[in-house]
Amino acid sequence: MAKKRPQTKAQRPQIADGEVPVVGAREPCPCGSGRRYKACHGRAAAHAVTELVQRPFEGLPGEGDWVALRELVPAATAELPLKGGLPEGVPSVTLATVLPMAWPALRRDDGSVLLGLQNDTASGDISRDLADTLQRALTAEPGTPVQGRRAPADGPRLQDLLDPEGAFEPVVHEGFEFWVPDAENATPEVTASLERANAAAIPTVKLQGVDAAYWCETPEKNHLRWVMPYGEEQLLDALARLHAAGRSSLGEGTRLVGSFRAHGLTVPVWDLPSGVSAEDVEKPAAEFAERLTAALASDAPLTADERRARGGLTNRQVTLS
Protein backbone atom coordinates (compact mmCIF):
# COMPACT_ATOMS: atom_id res chain seq x y z
CA MET A 1 0.00 0.00 0.00
CA ALA A 2 1.46 3.28 -1.09
CA LYS A 3 2.33 5.77 1.59
CA LYS A 4 0.38 9.01 1.62
CA ARG A 5 2.44 12.00 0.85
CA PRO A 6 2.34 14.61 3.57
CA GLN A 7 0.08 17.50 2.64
CA THR A 8 1.50 20.98 2.65
CA LYS A 9 -0.31 24.28 2.81
CA ALA A 10 0.54 27.14 0.57
CA GLN A 11 2.54 29.77 2.36
CA ARG A 12 0.59 32.98 2.79
CA PRO A 13 2.40 36.29 2.70
CA GLN A 14 3.06 37.53 6.21
CA ILE A 15 2.35 41.13 7.24
CA ALA A 16 4.29 42.98 9.88
CA ASP A 17 2.34 43.60 13.07
CA GLY A 18 2.27 47.32 12.57
CA GLU A 19 0.78 46.92 9.09
CA VAL A 20 -2.17 44.65 9.96
CA PRO A 21 -5.40 46.51 9.06
CA VAL A 22 -8.56 46.34 11.17
CA VAL A 23 -11.26 44.01 9.80
CA GLY A 24 -14.42 42.38 11.15
CA ALA A 25 -13.98 40.25 14.27
CA ARG A 26 -15.03 37.02 12.47
CA GLU A 27 -13.09 37.66 9.27
CA PRO A 28 -9.74 35.97 8.57
CA CYS A 29 -6.88 37.95 10.08
CA PRO A 30 -5.06 39.89 7.32
CA CYS A 31 -1.71 38.76 8.76
CA GLY A 32 -2.16 35.40 7.03
CA SER A 33 -2.28 33.21 10.12
CA GLY A 34 -5.52 31.54 9.05
CA ARG A 35 -7.23 32.45 12.31
CA ARG A 36 -10.12 34.86 12.75
CA TYR A 37 -9.13 38.46 13.41
CA LYS A 38 -10.64 38.47 16.95
CA ALA A 39 -8.46 35.49 17.93
CA CYS A 40 -5.31 36.89 16.36
CA HIS A 41 -4.29 40.54 15.99
CA GLY A 42 -7.76 41.71 17.04
CA ARG A 43 -7.11 40.40 20.53
CA ALA A 44 -4.33 42.90 21.11
CA ALA A 45 -6.41 45.71 19.61
CA ALA A 46 -9.33 44.92 21.93
CA HIS A 47 -7.00 44.77 24.91
CA ALA A 48 -5.56 48.15 24.02
CA VAL A 49 -9.06 49.66 24.09
CA THR A 50 -10.20 48.07 27.35
CA GLU A 51 -6.98 48.24 29.39
CA LEU A 52 -7.45 50.62 32.30
CA VAL A 53 -5.32 53.75 32.24
CA GLN A 54 -4.63 54.51 35.89
CA ARG A 55 -3.92 58.23 35.43
CA PRO A 56 -5.92 59.32 32.37
CA PHE A 57 -5.36 63.04 33.01
CA GLU A 58 -1.62 62.84 33.64
CA GLY A 59 0.27 65.44 31.64
CA LEU A 60 -2.68 67.82 31.34
CA PRO A 61 -2.47 71.22 33.05
CA GLY A 62 -4.44 71.02 36.30
CA GLU A 63 -4.52 67.22 36.61
CA GLY A 64 -5.87 67.48 40.17
CA ASP A 65 -8.72 69.73 39.06
CA TRP A 66 -9.60 67.32 36.23
CA VAL A 67 -9.93 64.56 38.83
CA ALA A 68 -11.99 66.79 41.12
CA LEU A 69 -14.39 67.82 38.35
CA ARG A 70 -14.74 64.21 37.26
CA GLU A 71 -15.48 62.77 40.73
CA LEU A 72 -16.19 65.44 43.36
CA VAL A 73 -17.65 68.68 41.99
CA PRO A 74 -21.32 68.81 40.94
CA ALA A 75 -21.41 71.90 38.71
CA ALA A 76 -18.33 73.46 37.14
CA THR A 77 -16.96 74.52 33.77
CA ALA A 78 -13.51 75.25 32.34
CA GLU A 79 -12.46 76.65 28.98
CA LEU A 80 -10.34 74.24 26.92
CA PRO A 81 -7.62 75.69 24.67
CA LEU A 82 -6.88 73.50 21.64
CA LYS A 83 -3.54 72.94 19.95
CA GLY A 84 -3.41 75.18 16.91
CA GLY A 85 -6.40 77.24 18.09
CA LEU A 86 -10.13 76.82 17.58
CA PRO A 87 -11.52 75.59 14.24
CA GLU A 88 -13.47 78.02 12.09
CA GLY A 89 -17.06 78.31 13.28
CA VAL A 90 -16.25 77.13 16.83
CA PRO A 91 -16.10 80.21 19.10
CA SER A 92 -15.26 78.23 22.25
CA VAL A 93 -14.78 74.76 23.73
CA THR A 94 -15.90 74.35 27.34
CA LEU A 95 -15.54 71.38 29.66
CA ALA A 96 -18.59 70.83 31.88
CA THR A 97 -19.01 68.42 34.76
CA VAL A 98 -22.46 67.35 33.54
CA LEU A 99 -24.62 68.19 30.50
CA PRO A 100 -28.41 68.02 30.17
CA MET A 101 -29.82 64.56 29.48
CA ALA A 102 -26.32 63.23 30.33
CA TRP A 103 -25.14 64.05 26.81
CA PRO A 104 -21.43 63.34 26.25
CA ALA A 105 -21.13 66.61 24.31
CA LEU A 106 -23.24 69.35 22.75
CA ARG A 107 -22.67 71.62 19.78
CA ARG A 108 -24.69 74.73 20.50
CA ASP A 109 -26.58 76.77 17.93
CA ASP A 110 -23.77 79.34 17.86
CA GLY A 111 -21.20 76.61 17.09
CA SER A 112 -19.63 76.51 20.56
CA VAL A 113 -18.91 73.10 22.09
CA LEU A 114 -19.68 71.77 25.57
CA LEU A 115 -17.87 68.56 26.56
CA GLY A 116 -19.31 66.52 29.45
CA LEU A 117 -16.83 64.99 31.90
CA GLN A 118 -18.95 62.91 34.30
CA ASN A 119 -20.19 60.35 31.78
CA ASP A 120 -19.67 56.60 31.58
CA THR A 121 -16.92 55.75 29.11
CA ALA A 122 -16.72 52.76 26.80
CA SER A 123 -13.04 51.94 27.27
CA GLY A 124 -10.50 51.96 30.05
CA ASP A 125 -9.02 55.27 28.91
CA ILE A 126 -11.21 58.24 29.80
CA SER A 127 -8.83 60.60 28.03
CA ARG A 128 -9.15 58.76 24.71
CA ASP A 129 -12.95 58.55 24.98
CA LEU A 130 -13.24 62.26 25.75
CA ALA A 131 -10.92 63.15 22.87
CA ASP A 132 -13.04 61.11 20.48
CA THR A 133 -16.21 62.82 21.70
CA LEU A 134 -14.55 66.23 21.40
CA GLN A 135 -13.41 65.62 17.83
CA ARG A 136 -16.91 64.59 16.78
CA ALA A 137 -18.45 67.58 18.57
CA LEU A 138 -16.18 70.00 16.69
CA THR A 139 -17.66 68.83 13.38
CA ALA A 140 -21.25 68.16 14.51
CA GLU A 141 -24.12 70.23 13.15
CA PRO A 142 -24.82 73.26 15.37
CA GLY A 143 -27.69 72.65 17.74
CA THR A 144 -27.12 68.90 18.12
CA PRO A 145 -25.87 66.66 20.95
CA VAL A 146 -23.09 64.11 20.42
CA GLN A 147 -23.69 60.54 21.53
CA GLY A 148 -21.11 58.32 23.19
CA ARG A 149 -19.30 55.44 21.52
CA ARG A 150 -16.20 53.29 21.93
CA ALA A 151 -13.20 55.31 20.81
CA PRO A 152 -10.80 53.73 18.29
CA ALA A 153 -7.85 52.10 20.03
CA ASP A 154 -5.41 54.21 18.04
CA GLY A 155 -7.37 57.45 18.36
CA PRO A 156 -5.93 60.60 19.94
CA ARG A 157 -6.13 61.40 23.65
CA LEU A 158 -6.88 64.75 25.28
CA GLN A 159 -3.13 65.19 25.69
CA ASP A 160 -2.88 65.19 21.88
CA LEU A 161 -5.67 67.74 21.32
CA LEU A 162 -5.32 70.29 24.12
CA ASP A 163 -2.71 73.03 24.34
CA PRO A 164 -0.20 71.89 27.00
CA GLU A 165 0.66 75.53 27.75
CA GLY A 166 -2.96 76.57 28.17
CA ALA A 167 -4.36 77.31 31.62
CA PHE A 168 -7.00 75.07 33.18
CA GLU A 169 -9.11 77.27 35.44
CA PRO A 170 -12.34 75.67 36.69
CA VAL A 171 -15.30 77.88 37.55
CA VAL A 172 -17.60 76.32 40.15
CA HIS A 173 -21.31 77.14 39.77
CA GLU A 174 -24.16 76.98 42.28
CA GLY A 175 -26.36 75.24 39.71
CA PHE A 176 -26.50 74.14 36.10
CA GLU A 177 -27.91 77.27 34.48
CA PHE A 178 -24.80 77.35 32.28
CA TRP A 179 -26.44 74.56 30.28
CA VAL A 180 -28.69 76.95 28.36
CA PRO A 181 -28.10 80.55 27.33
CA ASP A 182 -31.84 81.25 27.62
CA ALA A 183 -33.39 79.05 30.32
CA GLU A 184 -36.88 80.51 29.78
CA ASN A 185 -37.00 79.10 26.25
CA ALA A 186 -35.46 75.69 27.01
CA THR A 187 -37.32 72.54 25.99
CA PRO A 188 -39.42 70.83 28.68
CA GLU A 189 -36.97 67.90 28.75
CA VAL A 190 -33.98 70.18 29.38
CA THR A 191 -35.92 72.22 31.94
CA ALA A 192 -36.86 69.07 33.87
CA SER A 193 -33.27 67.81 33.73
CA LEU A 194 -32.03 71.20 34.97
CA GLU A 195 -34.42 71.17 37.93
CA ARG A 196 -33.41 67.63 38.95
CA ALA A 197 -29.70 68.45 38.69
CA ASN A 198 -30.01 71.66 40.71
CA ALA A 199 -31.93 69.86 43.46
CA ALA A 200 -29.16 67.26 43.82
CA ALA A 201 -26.17 69.63 43.68
CA ILE A 202 -24.11 69.90 46.90
CA PRO A 203 -22.85 73.47 47.54
CA THR A 204 -19.16 73.45 46.59
CA VAL A 205 -16.41 76.08 46.55
CA LYS A 206 -12.88 75.89 45.12
CA LEU A 207 -10.18 77.17 47.46
CA GLN A 208 -8.02 79.93 46.01
CA GLY A 209 -4.85 79.59 48.09
CA VAL A 210 -3.99 75.97 47.26
CA ASP A 211 -4.41 73.78 44.20
CA ALA A 212 -7.30 71.36 43.61
CA ALA A 213 -8.92 71.70 47.06
CA TYR A 214 -12.72 71.88 47.26
CA TRP A 215 -14.94 72.75 50.22
CA CYS A 216 -18.44 71.30 50.24
CA GLU A 217 -21.45 71.62 52.51
CA THR A 218 -23.67 68.75 53.61
CA PRO A 219 -26.60 68.80 56.06
CA GLU A 220 -24.60 67.40 59.00
CA LYS A 221 -21.07 68.77 58.48
CA ASN A 222 -18.83 70.36 55.91
CA HIS A 223 -15.82 68.77 54.23
CA LEU A 224 -12.61 69.69 52.46
CA ARG A 225 -11.55 67.29 49.70
CA TRP A 226 -8.08 67.99 48.35
CA VAL A 227 -6.69 66.22 45.26
CA MET A 228 -2.91 65.91 45.71
CA PRO A 229 -0.34 65.25 42.96
CA TYR A 230 2.08 63.10 44.99
CA GLY A 231 2.73 59.37 44.86
CA GLU A 232 0.33 57.49 47.12
CA GLU A 233 2.94 55.82 49.34
CA GLN A 234 4.95 59.01 49.80
CA LEU A 235 1.82 61.02 50.59
CA LEU A 236 0.49 58.48 53.10
CA ASP A 237 3.84 58.48 54.90
CA ALA A 238 3.79 62.28 55.09
CA LEU A 239 0.18 62.40 56.29
CA ALA A 240 0.98 59.74 58.90
CA ARG A 241 3.90 61.81 60.24
CA LEU A 242 1.64 64.85 60.61
CA HIS A 243 -1.27 62.84 62.02
CA ALA A 244 0.91 61.17 64.69
CA ALA A 245 2.30 64.58 65.66
CA GLY A 246 -1.20 66.07 66.00
CA ARG A 247 -0.58 68.44 63.07
CA SER A 248 -2.94 67.05 60.44
CA SER A 249 -6.03 69.12 61.26
CA LEU A 250 -7.15 72.38 59.67
CA GLY A 251 -8.06 74.08 62.93
CA GLU A 252 -10.26 73.55 65.95
CA GLY A 253 -13.00 70.97 65.42
CA THR A 254 -11.56 69.74 62.10
CA ARG A 255 -10.21 66.25 61.49
CA LEU A 256 -8.42 64.33 58.74
CA VAL A 257 -10.75 61.34 58.37
CA GLY A 258 -9.37 59.42 55.42
CA SER A 259 -8.90 59.68 51.67
CA PHE A 260 -10.22 58.72 48.28
CA ARG A 261 -8.30 57.14 45.43
CA ALA A 262 -9.32 58.61 42.10
CA HIS A 263 -7.67 58.25 38.69
CA GLY A 264 -4.24 57.53 40.11
CA LEU A 265 -4.23 60.34 42.68
CA THR A 266 -5.00 60.44 46.40
CA VAL A 267 -7.64 62.79 47.81
CA PRO A 268 -7.37 63.43 51.58
CA VAL A 269 -10.67 64.37 53.22
CA TRP A 270 -11.23 66.52 56.31
CA ASP A 271 -14.42 66.80 58.34
CA LEU A 272 -15.21 70.41 59.22
CA PRO A 273 -17.78 71.80 61.64
CA SER A 274 -20.93 72.93 59.87
CA GLY A 275 -20.14 76.56 60.65
CA VAL A 276 -16.73 76.47 58.90
CA SER A 277 -16.92 78.05 55.45
CA ALA A 278 -14.57 77.84 52.49
CA GLU A 279 -13.17 81.26 53.38
CA ASP A 280 -12.51 80.12 56.95
CA VAL A 281 -10.36 77.20 55.78
CA GLU A 282 -8.22 79.12 53.26
CA LYS A 283 -5.49 80.12 55.73
CA PRO A 284 -5.39 76.77 57.60
CA ALA A 285 -5.12 74.94 54.26
CA ALA A 286 -2.19 77.09 53.16
CA GLU A 287 -0.45 76.45 56.50
CA PHE A 288 -1.10 72.73 56.18
CA ALA A 289 0.44 72.77 52.69
CA GLU A 290 3.68 74.08 54.24
CA ARG A 291 3.68 71.37 56.90
CA LEU A 292 2.99 68.72 54.27
CA THR A 293 5.89 69.92 52.11
CA ALA A 294 8.26 69.47 55.04
CA ALA A 295 6.86 66.02 55.85
CA LEU A 296 7.17 64.92 52.23
CA ALA A 297 10.86 65.84 52.31
CA SER A 298 11.60 63.45 55.18
CA ASP A 299 12.98 60.01 54.36
CA ALA A 300 13.37 58.83 57.97
CA PRO A 301 11.73 55.50 58.84
CA LEU A 302 8.26 55.83 60.35
CA THR A 303 8.07 55.53 64.11
CA ALA A 304 5.69 53.09 65.78
CA ASP A 305 3.12 55.86 66.30
CA GLU A 306 3.47 56.98 62.68
CA ARG A 307 3.02 53.42 61.43
CA ARG A 308 -0.18 53.12 63.46
CA ALA A 309 -1.40 56.43 62.07
CA ARG A 310 -0.58 55.27 58.55
CA GLY A 311 -2.47 52.02 59.09
CA GLY A 312 -5.52 53.97 60.22
CA LEU A 313 -5.39 56.25 57.18
CA THR A 314 -4.95 53.29 54.84
CA ASN A 315 -7.94 51.50 56.35
CA ARG A 316 -10.08 54.56 55.72
CA GLN A 317 -9.30 54.84 52.02
CA VAL A 318 -12.12 54.56 49.49
CA THR A 319 -11.45 53.96 45.78
CA LEU A 320 -13.65 56.05 43.47
CA SER A 321 -12.11 54.91 40.19
Nearest to residue 106, comparing CAs of 91, 117, 120, 116?
Answer: 116
If DSSP codes are grouped into helix, strand and coil, which group holds residue 317?
strand
Q: How are strands ordered across the β-sheet holding 255-262?
A: 204-206, 213-217, 222-226, 265-272, 255-262, 317-319
CB contact at 8 A, 222 and 276: yes
Within 8 A by CB and 6+ apart from 160, the residues are 83, 131
CB contact at 8 A, 243 and 251: no
CB contact at 8 A, 254 and 112: no
How wide is the angle at C-alpha 105 spanned by C-alphas 103 and 111, nearest 5°? 130
pLDDT by 10s per residue, the chain, length 321: 444 444 444 444 455 554 566 555 567 888 888 887 667 866 655 554 468 899 999 999 999 999 999 999 999 999 999 999 999 999 999 999 999 889 999 999 999 999 999 998 888 999 999 999 999 999 999 999 999 988 998 999 999 999 999 999 999 999 999 988 776 777 888 788 888 889 989 999 999 999 999 999 988 899 999 999 999 999 999 999 999 999 999 999 999 999 999 999 999 999 999 999 999 999 999 999 999 999 999 999 999 999 999 999 999 999 987
**pTM score:** 0.83
C-beta atoms surrounding 258 within 10 Å: 17
